[in-house]
Amino acid sequence: MRWYPKGYGGSRRDPDQVKRDGWHDEGVLAVSVDDQRLTWPERELVRQLGEKLYGPRANDREAANG
């Protein structure tokens, strides 16, 4: 039998479960602007919020300059 430090070993949560727990426990929302579960207006809202809070994405800046 092998010993692992606390927090290691066992099963891992899938990424959507981590995001769900973050929303429920901390009020943190992690969403991709390309998430196909969202409608176009919802994806556009996510994009606009991201730009307002953090500035334009790197690939968006290149297209604007090119």
The per-residue pLDDT for range 25-60, each reduced to its tens digit, is 999 999 999 999 999 999 999 999 999 999 999 887
For residue 53, is it within any domain? yes
For residue 45, is it within any domain? yes
Q: Which domain holds residue 47?
A: 36-65
Q: Assess contact for 42 and 29: CB atoms under 8 A.
A: no
pLDDT of residue 64: 55
Identity of the amino acid at 2 = R
For residue 22, is it within any domain? no
pTM of the predicted model as reported, rounded to 2 decimal places: 0.69
Identify the residue with better confidence: 60 or 14.
14
Coil, strand, or helix at residue 46? helix
- Other Cβ atoms less than 10 A from the Cβ of 37: the count is 8
